[in-house]
Structure 1
Amino acid sequence: MERRFLRATYALTPGRDLVVQALTSRVAKQAVLQWFTYPGAGTPQPEKPLKFSYLHHQGRPLWGDGETPVAVRGGEVYHFQVVADVDRLGEDLALRLLQPPREVKIYGAPARLELAEASIEAAAPLHPGRYVTVRFKTPTLLQYPKPPRVKAPTTHTLYPQPRLLILNLIQRARAYGVEAPLSLYVYAPFDLVESTHAVRPAAVYVGPHHAVGFTGVITYRLDAPAKRARWIAQLLGLARYIGVGHSTAMGFGWVEITTQ
Structure 2
Amino acid sequence: MLKHLVGSKTEYLAYDRDCFKQYRDLKDHTRNFIGASVGAVFTDDRRFFCAAFRIAADTIMTAGHCANGIDGADRRIFRLVGYPEIETKVLDQIPPRAEEPVDDFGDFALFKIQDPAIAGFWTAKSFSHDIAKDQVIIIVAVSLIPRELGEHDSKYTWLDDVRFSRAYSSKTWAPEEVGTNLPASSNRTECIYHRAPTFPGMSGAPIIAVHAPAKAGGSPTFSVIGMHLRNGAEREEDCGKAFDYNVGIRIPEQVIKAMN
Q: TM-score, normalised by structure 1?
A: 0.32
Larger Rg: 1
